[in-house]
Structure 1
Amino acid sequence: MTDSRLDTLRSWLKGLKPSWQLDLPSLAPASADASFRRYFRIESKNPEFGTLIVMDAPPQHEPLDAFLKVDLLLAEAGLNVPKILEQNVVEGFLLLNDLGTKTYLAELNPESADHLYKDATHALVQMQLASKPDVLPNYDEALLQRELDLFPEWYLKKHLQMELMEVQESQIKQAFALIIKNNLAQEKVYVHRDFHSRNLMVTEVNNPGVIDFQDAVYGPITYDAASLWRDAYIAWPEERVIDWVIKFWEEGRKAGLPMTDDFGQFYRDFEWMGLQRHLKVLGIFARLFHRDGKDGYLKDIPLVLEYAIATAHRYIELKPLARILESTRTSVTQNKSV
């Protein structure tokens, strides 16, 4: 750890040492994500905090404004998000309380899932109840389209070197239009955008801890549910997923969220929103590898692909897209084995 930003970070922490009783030599990597952000953990002799988290967000790539705004919004909604203890917006550093090391992904199993997802459902409903228009960016048609376009650009053409025929280009375009139409017709709420097992921390109080929310928008009510139960990193039997989505729908309606009275329609919206997300994710995972040199997400492509194929097959108007997705199965298997 000898890069120049780390030197700047250490200098900033040195100034905070007296007030937070920081043990500067204990600074160590905590995690990194798919962006330019990275996180460190540092020990403290402060009686309230045994350890603290330091966020390093290079301002030219990851300005802190959105994180600070959404953190406040979610905290006011009652969610367990990191407390901002110190901030250096100019250089891109934050000192946060530590929500621990236990992710949902690490702790989820067939026995714990009902309890953990119940807590996550409650947090999701709390966040959605706090929703107001014109506070967060709109998850509009242009953004949904840009995300979907990552699928042919990065996954099909760049990653699989697939040359699409004119009819396939047309089929993809038609499928995208149908998906976006469904997404935009849904009621709108605050959307975390990555409300899944890697971004939920198991905590003793006010479970779960919620992180990585800086890309939040105002958009379709099923988006975060699709992130949570059609998770790119863990899969569940369909009957359990349906049961969890029913519980979310029931709790949301009871709390007054604008959810349709017909669960069948709600589940269809959930599936179509999940398909939009999975097509985007296929493109993002491919882009992370080819553009950013991060190959850790390639192993997650097969599960995401299977989600997309299964959903597309369930709706007759999406059958052409399903066939295109199925045609990539062999290539994915070969890439995975290399």
Structure 2
Amino acid sequence: MASLTPTLALQRKEQRIRFVETHIKQLNQADDELTISAITGDASFRLYFRVRATQSQYVLMDVPPDKGSIEAFIHLNHVFSQGGLAVPEIFAFDTELGFVLLEDLGSVHLADIIAQQGDYRYYSELLAWLPQIATLEVSKWMNTYDAPFIEQEINIFKSWLLESWLGYRCSPEVTRNWQLLVSRLSESMITQPQVVMHRDFHSRNIMYSQAGGRLIDYQDAVVGPVCYDAVSLLKDCYLKLPSQQFEQLKRESYQHLADAGLLPDMSFAQYVESFNLTGLQRHLKAAGIFARLHLRDGKPGYLPSILPTLNYIVETAEMFTEFQWLATWLQSEIIPMIEKKLTES
């Protein structure tokens, strides 16, 4: 992603300061001494800053208008909140400039808690959120996760990871198999019950503070397959659950959705098949996005997540006779190329 010129960067910084100063004064009725410091780690064009005043603290989201809009974020914050889901409070925003002043939720994610405590009980609480998300009011800001959308996302793997990063060109046989794979996964996902889905419901998008768990990064919510958010949480690209906990929580996810009437006539075995096929699509997309973040956006920190994500794909592909070729191809050709590439970087 092209960075701002020094002049434009300075102008943007001045706009941030003016926005923050104006709204902090309105909130606190005091001329506080402010500090604004960058927060790193977001996998998008959005920038985040921690704003510290004398007696309060906030987070500033900065979306340059030429990069995107904050309107979906603002509107869906209201939709999620009205649906009973815990999201950060918005104190002020400017849609023309692309600034949002938010409640500061700290810096502790679910991933941090699991890494430090190994306490998987949090997942049972989070799985209870699935029906709440699925039954949210459908908004004009939510796209439909239809066949073209699904195919476009899965092909991020082919265009960015294979072709752009590895310089790999698929053989005619792999190309044929790939096209069949895309069609099969698309068919599975569009024939599932279609519900509202967060789309990135994973351990780095759930934050914990004294107020409990809060959901972030909801602005890309769409209407799509009922299994998707459960897959995002339980087959997380950044954190792999132990097998016993995974199997137990997968069944819990089914039960929550079934009890809410969101899985009409779907047995657990059918749910597991849909879950697995949805995971194939999501993980192929995610691996491609990690390569794109490196090449296009200058964010190499996501490259180490590629191999764990591909391991999910191999594990799942081996469960299906029709996808044995995928497991073999990845293990014999693609993964060795990636391992070599990662040692060179």
Q: Provide TM-score, normalisation by structure 2.
A: 0.91
**Identity within the alignment, %:** 30
Q: Which residue of 1 aligns with 2:20?
A: 13
What is the Cα deviation at residue 39 of structure 1?
A: 0.9
Counterpart pick for 1:300 among 277, 302, 305 = 305
What is the Cα deviation at residue 227 of structure 1?
A: 0.9
Q: Which residue of 2 aligns with 1:38?
A: 47
Counterpart pick for 1:241 among 237, 246, 250 = 246
Confirm or deny: 8 A CA contact 2:111 2:203 kept in the other structure: yes
AA partner of residue 27 (structure 1): I
What is the Cα deviation at residue 162 of structure 1?
A: 1.4
Confirm or deny: 8 A CA contact 1:260 1:266 kept in the other structure: no
Confirm or deny: 8 A CA contact 2:62 2:100 kept in the other structure: yes
What is the Cα deviation at residue 317 of structure 1?
A: 1.2
Whole-Å separation in 1 of the counterparts to 2:146 and 2:46:
26
Whole-Å separation in 2 of the counterparts to 1:260 and 1:215:
29
Q: Which residue of 2 aligns with 1:107?
A: 113
Counterpart pick for 1:285 among 282, 290, 295 = 290
Deviates more, 1:229-238 or 1:87-96: 229-238
Name stretches of at least 5 consecutive residues in structure 2 with no aligned partner: 1-5
Whole-Å separation in 2 of the counterparts to 1:275 and 1:241:
17
The 5 Å alignment of 1:295-334 reads 295-326=300-331, 327-334=333-340
Deviates more, 1:31-40 or 1:218-227: 31-40
What is the Cα deviation at residue 310 of structure 1?
A: 0.9
Determine helix, strand or coil for the equivalent of 1:81.
Answer: coil
Confirm or deny: 8 A CA contact 1:187 1:220 kept in the other structure: yes
Confirm or deny: 8 A CA contact 1:27 1:43 kept in the other structure: yes
Whole-Å separation in 1 of the counterparts to 2:325 and 2:167:
20
What is the Cα deviation at residue 260 of structure 1?
A: 4.6
Confirm or deny: 8 A CA contact 1:53 1:96 kept in the other structure: yes
Q: Which residue of 1 aligns with 2:34?
A: 25
Q: Which residue of 2 aligns with 1:77?
A: 83
Determine helix, strand or coil for the equivalent of 1:214.
Answer: coil
Confirm or deny: 8 A CA contact 1:20 1:45 kept in the other structure: no
Confirm or deny: 8 A CA contact 2:25 2:32 kept in the other structure: no
Counterpart pick for 2:199 among 181, 193, 196 = 193
Residue deviations 1:243-281 (CA, integer Å, cap 9, x gap):
111112112222332355411111111111111011111
Deviates more, 1:156-165 or 1:250-259: 250-259
What is the Cα deviation at residue 32 of structure 1?
A: 4.1
Residue deviations 1:293-334 (CA, integer Å, cap 9, x gap):
211111111100101111111111112222222221111211
Counterpart pick for 2:237 among 224, 232, 235 = 232
Q: Which residue of 2 aligns with 1:275?
A: 280
Name stretches of at least 5 consecutive residues in structure 1 with no aligned partner: none
What is the Cα deviation at residue 164 of structure 1?
A: 1.3
Determine helix, strand or coil for the equivalent of 1:202.
Answer: strand
Whole-Å separation in 2 of the counterparts to 1:131 and 1:318:
37
Whole-Å separation in 2 of the counterparts to 1:109 and 1:94:
30
Change (3 A) 1:249 1:286: same
RMSD: 2.0
What is the Cα deviation at residue 193 of structure 1?
A: 1.0
Aligned length: 334
AA partner of residue 43 (structure 2): A
Q: Which residue of 2 aligns with 1:152?
A: 158
Deviates more, 1:216-225 or 1:105-114: 105-114
Change (3 A) 1:293 1:30: closer
AA partner of residue 233 (structure 1): Y
Q: Provide TM-score, normalisation by structure 1.
A: 0.93
Whole-Å separation in 1 of the counterparts to 2:139 and 2:13:
39
